[in-house]
Chains A and B, each alone.
Chain A
């Protein structure tokens, strides 16, 4: 044992905190100068920002308008439906954590932490209750499903059913229904609208994107030409023009009798837009399938349809899962453009709040709050996407 202590330690200046500082911040004169200058600038900016956040910002504007920012003018007495939807969602995440672990674990723990953090703010009593139930459901789901590999398939099915259940629950059945009265899509607002546009947009446009991608690789020149024309047209123009078209021109094309709600029209615009981008992602996945796979399927006597459905698509879609998450993230940000065509999504609701005379001049507070929400969601989604990429071994198989 004594011989160990007699071993020479590396010099102090090369390891430990001092060594780290020397290597990373002060390796040369120029580097030291860079460190000092950027550190000073960062410190000054940081002090200014913290002073503003703590002392000068008037956060009551957020507290007063939290409901509008989250749900728009969704009826107050129907708020429980939003909560139930969230509870179903988090239970699914909890179940998924139990069955798979991995990234769903981070997602579940993140959701639970977010729910608990919400209680730091002055929120209504029922909100506190719901958040506690949500945390309970996350951990309950985990305990229930832990180690049960047989539950994987049912959980996946439930996951696919979730958007449908959510829409039914949130939109309701008809005006006079005793439990679930109709809440028109136009009434949805704030973060709820932003989320629904992005989620429904990605889910509905995905099959369209797959079809377009298959069409683009079709050997039939007419089909291929039509698909290429659609994809390149949509990708060549800004989303605003497509949203505008969906608002102004779509009703003309559909004739006088059909009246669509403004939000539905925006959703159609988002779907038409996102399908073209999906198609390009999926095409990338299709191209990554080695021709040998198709030739082997043909040699087994499969026809083109079976080859596509059973051999090509399963492999291609797994390869494009990360790209699809990326697409969802950018769609989540891009849906803020519906504020330009007059919808009250998160950003539109924020603009609405700022237009009120009593909140004039508080734009920094509102914008920073909205930015924080967007940032939290997109950053955690890109984190999930990176982990998923690693878990699926994309680019490694």
Chain B
């Protein structure tokens, strides 16, 4: 009897054959899903018909008709699609400021929790334990109340600069490019190229001779040199100061941040910072003590031990949960809707209410968040793969 014949003889009956059962189970699963989906879709269609809503994305071309407080230049006569884009950009503006700020606070607080100083350690854990155990939304309301207590525009608090603090926002001095700006920009561009060249030259010198080449410092000095040179050689000053001035009921000119933006960024930064502090602390604690001791034993000083031995190893542990915190921050930025910041969810919600196209708008909003999440995880995964331990 050949092996194949043996298999044929031992082959179980069809209703007991695992290979058949597997296919059957999946077919049954799909059929159940389709049946449930069918009921839901039929209900949906009936509901939409009753309300007289036409499915599809054509409504995005209609005029939005509502104002948006800040962000890209926008008029109420622009279409919905552009209003949504303004919302997306507003969300990104928050992330660009809040993610680095939260990282900074988190790293400082995380290291402070391991400080040798008892008081510093206590203050850092007090911050982390308080903030982590209170809902973000409540904290946002609290910050909104704090910033609403700032003086009105007419009685603005003036700080040097001049910078004005009001309950509508903060007005900072800004600058506008003059005709000579192009010249300066070109000088800086040249400076960047030169700095890279200097960096490579100095690090090769360090590698070849084993003596300190100070590549980073040399590159930085080169760049600053080019920037200063361009500034003073330019036919006129490349940047004209643009100061905020009180005109009528509001400040004009300069660089302004609305109070909603500041509230959202402050709330997200303080909240996420506490979580990042825990990530950083556990990351540093995950590095075995023997590593530090060994590094000290071969004569490295404390700073170099931290920079060359502890941090690179801690980073491996830190990065995956840190990514999660960034993603949480991005998702939590949707709470801007509660304090009147016109971000993606807030603008999308307004469009939803006005047009009645609930399904379309919610899927658009969710898809946008989903792609932001996926994009962030792809970027950090690539970085993560570079710092991960390569096992041999």
Q: Which residue numbers of A lie inside 8 Å of B, CB to CB?
A: 24-25, 27, 31, 34-35, 38-39, 42, 219-223, 226, 233, 235-241, 244-245, 248-249, 251-256, 329, 333-334, 336-337, 339-340, 347, 351, 363-364, 367, 370-371, 374-375, 378-379, 382
Contacts and interface: CB of A to CB of B under 8 A. Distances in A.
Interface of B: 22, 25-26, 29-30, 33, 40, 43-44, 46-48, 50, 116-120, 123, 129-130, 132-139, 141-142, 145, 331-332, 334-335, 337-338, 345, 349, 352, 358-359, 362, 365-366, 369-370, 373-374
A188 B349 CA distance: 26
A42 B129 CA distance: 16
Contact of B46 (A42, A256, A363, A374): A256
A256 B50 contact: yes
List the 8 closest A-B pairs by CB distance, nearest first.
A255-B43, A24-B118, A238-B331, A378-B133, A336-B135, A236-B373, A238-B334, A222-B26
Residue of A222, A237, A248, A375 ringed by the most chain B CB atoms within 10 A: A237
A337 B335 contact: yes
B116 A31 contact: yes
A272 B167 CA distance: 39
B7 to A, nearest CB: 21
Contacts of B50: 256
A233 B370 contact: yes
Contact of A253 (B44, B117, B145, B337): B44
Contact of A42 (B26, B123, B369): B123
B266 to A, nearest CB: 15
A253 B40 contact: yes
A367 B134 CA distance: 11
B370 A351 contact: no
A35 B117 contact: yes
A66 B18 CA distance: 62
Contacts of B359: 249, 252
A334 B338 CA distance: 14
Nearest to B333: A238
Contacts of B366: 233, 236-237, 241
Nearest to A251: B47
A334 B332 CA distance: 10
Contact of A238 (B135, B141, B369): B369
Contacts of B117: 24-25, 27, 31, 34-35, 38
8 contacts: A220-B29, A233-B370, A235-B373, A240-B345, A252-B47, A340-B335, A347-B138, A375-B130
B138 A367 contact: yes
A249 B134 CA distance: 30
Given A237-B331, A347-B135, A363 B26 contact: no
Residue of B123, B136, B358 ringed by the most chain A CB atoms within 10 A: B358
A219 to B, nearest CB: 8
Contacts of B369: 236-238, 241
Contacts of B135: 333-334, 336-337, 347, 374
Contacts of B33: 226
Given A223-B29, A249-B358, A35 B370 contact: no
A3 to B, nearest CB: 37
Contacts of B370: 233, 236-237
A364 B141 CA distance: 10
A195 B141 CA distance: 21
A363 B145 contact: yes
B380 to A, nearest CB: 14
A212 B33 CA distance: 14
A220 B22 contact: yes
A226 B44 CA distance: 22
B145 A241 contact: no
Given A238-B332, A240-B334, A367 B349 contact: no
Contacts of A370: 138
A248 B362 contact: yes
B119 A35 contact: yes
Contacts of B365: 237, 241
Nearest to A233: B370
B47 to A, nearest CB: 4
Nearest to B371: A236
Contacts of A375: 130, 133-134
A169 B386 CA distance: 57
Contacts of A329: 133
B130 A340 contact: no
A363 B141 contact: yes
Nearest to B335: A240
A220 B48 contact: no
Contacts of A241: 334, 345, 362, 365-366, 369
A371 B142 contact: yes
A245 B358 CA distance: 8
Contacts of B26: 220-223
Given A240-B345, A336-B135, A375-B133, A25 B118 contact: yes
Nearest to A235: B373
A226 to B, nearest CB: 7
A237 B349 CA distance: 15
Contacts of B129: 379
Given A347-B141, A379-B133, 13 more contacts: A25-B117, A34-B117, A220-B22, A238-B332, A238-B345, A241-B369, A252-B44, A253-B40, A256-B46, A337-B137, A367-B141, A370-B138, A371-B142
